[in-house]
C-alpha cells in the first residue's frame, strides 16, 4: 500500500505542474483527487493504476481557471495548515514545472533528505552546530548553514545519499568543495577538503568516498563543513542523519 502522504505528494506535484498554486485550492483539489483514487480502488483498480489515471486526468484537464495566484502568503499558510492538521510536513514542496511525471519514479521515490554521516569517522566531534553562532575566524555573529565536524586532514569524506555530482571547485571561503544533487529537492555540500576524488556529473552512492577532509579555505582548524540544502534553505543536518 502506498502511504497516503506519498499519494498526496504526487497529486500536489501534478497540480503544481499544471500551474495550480493557490494553497486553499490545492488543498481542495487534493481532497477531490483522493476521492477519485479511493473510488477507483474501491472499483477494483490497483492504487498505482488509480494514481496514474488521476495524474493523466490532472494533466489533460484544463485547470487554467484554477491557476490564478491570489496572494503570496498562501503557500506558507498551506504549509502551516497541512502541518497542523495532517502532519503532511513534506507536502509543500516547490516542484519544477512541466516536468513529465513518471508514476513509477514518483511512487518509489518520495523525496527525503539524505541520511548518511558525511565522514569516515563515526564518532567525530561536532565542533560547531547549525544555526546562529559566532564565526570562528571572523568573530562576527552569523547563521551557520551547516555543521562542522572535527577531522584530521585526510579523513575520507562520504556521500550521504545517492546523488549526482553537481559541482566541485575551490573558493576562498569554502576551500575545496563538493556539491551533490540528490534529487530535485535536496543538495548537500562538503567544504574545506584537501582533495576531491570525483568529477562533476559523476553518479555516487550513499557511503562512497568523494574526497578527503582538510583545512582549505576560511577554516581555523581541520574539519569538514557539511550542509543539507532543501531547495534554497539550509536545514539542520543533525535532524536528518540516521532518520
Partner 1 sequence: MDSNKKFLNGTLNTIVLALLRENGKMYGYEICQLTKEKTDNKILLTEGAIYPTLHRLEKDGLIISSKEKVNGRTRKYYAINQSSLQEVESQIDLLSQFTGHLRSLLNLTT
Residue 3 as a binder of partner 1 (CB under 8 A): the answer is no
Among 46, 56, 59, 61, binds partner 1 (CB under 8 A): 61
User: What are 109's three cell numbers?
Assistant: 521515490
- DSSP letters of 194-227? EEE---TT-EE-TT-EEEEEB--SS-SSSEEEEE
List the interface residues with partner 1, window 137-156 (CB under 8 A).
Answer: none
Least Cβ distance, residue 103 to partner 1 (angstroms): 19
Residue 2 within binding range of partner 1, rule CB under 8 A:
no
Hey, which bits of 65-174 come out as E strands?
Answer: 126-128, 131-134, 141-144, 147-150, 156-158, 163-171
Among 43, 44, 72, 85, binds partner 1 (CB under 8 A): 85
In the complex, least distance from residue 127 CB atom to partner 1, rounded to whole angstroms: 43
31 binding partner 1? (CB under 8 A): yes
Cα 107 from Cα 169, distance rounded (Å): 35
Comparing CB distances to partner 1, the nearer of 85 and 199 is 85
The C-alpha cell at 113 is 533528505
DSSP state of 183: S
* Closer CB to partner 1, 97 or 132, in the complex: 97
List interacting residues with partner 1 (CB under 8 A). Answer: 24-25, 27-32, 34-36, 61-66, 81, 85-86
Amino acid at each position: 500500500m502506498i502511504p497516503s502522504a506519498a499519494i498526496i505528494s504526487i497529486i500536489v506535484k501534478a497540480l503544481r505542474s499544471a500551474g495550480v498554486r493557490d494553497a486553499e485550492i490545492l488543498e481542495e483539489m487534493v481532497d477531490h483527487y483522493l476521492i477519485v483514487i479511493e473510488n477507483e480502488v474501491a472499483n477494483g483498480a490497483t492504487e498505482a493504476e488509480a494514481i496514474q489515471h488521476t495524474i493523466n486526468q490532472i494533466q489533460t484537464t484544463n485547470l487554467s481557471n484554477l491557476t490564478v495566484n491570489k496572494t503570496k502568503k498562501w503557500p506558507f499558510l498551506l504549509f502551516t495548515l497541512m502541518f497542523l492538521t495532517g502532519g503532511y510536513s513534506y507536502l509543500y514542496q516547490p516542484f519544477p514545472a512541466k516536468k513529465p511525471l513518471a508514476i513509477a519514479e514518483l511512487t518509489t521515490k518520495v523525496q527525503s533528505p539524505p541520511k548518511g554521516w558525511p565522514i569516515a569517522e563515526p564518532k567525530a566531534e561536532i565542533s560547531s552546530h547549525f544555526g546562529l553562532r559566532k564565526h570562528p575566524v571572523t568573530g562576527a555573529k552569523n547563521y551557520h548553514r551547516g555543521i562542522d565536524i572535527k577531522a584530521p586532514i585526510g579523513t575520507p569524506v562520504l556521500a550521504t545519499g545517492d546523488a549526482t555530482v553537481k559541482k566541485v571547485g575551490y573558493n576562498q571561503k569554502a576551500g575545496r568543495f563538493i556539491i551533490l544533487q540528490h534529487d530535485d529537492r535536496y543538495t548537500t555540500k562538503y567544504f574545506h577538503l584537501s582533495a576531491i576524488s570525483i568529477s562533476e556529473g559523476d553518479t555516487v552512492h550513499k557511503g562512497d568516498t568523494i574526497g578527503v577532509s582538510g583545512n582549505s579555505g576560511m577554516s581555523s582548524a581541520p574539519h569538514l563543513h557539511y550542509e543539507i540544502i532543501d531547495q534554497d534553505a539550509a536545514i539542520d543536518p543533525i535532524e536528518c542523519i540516521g532518520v
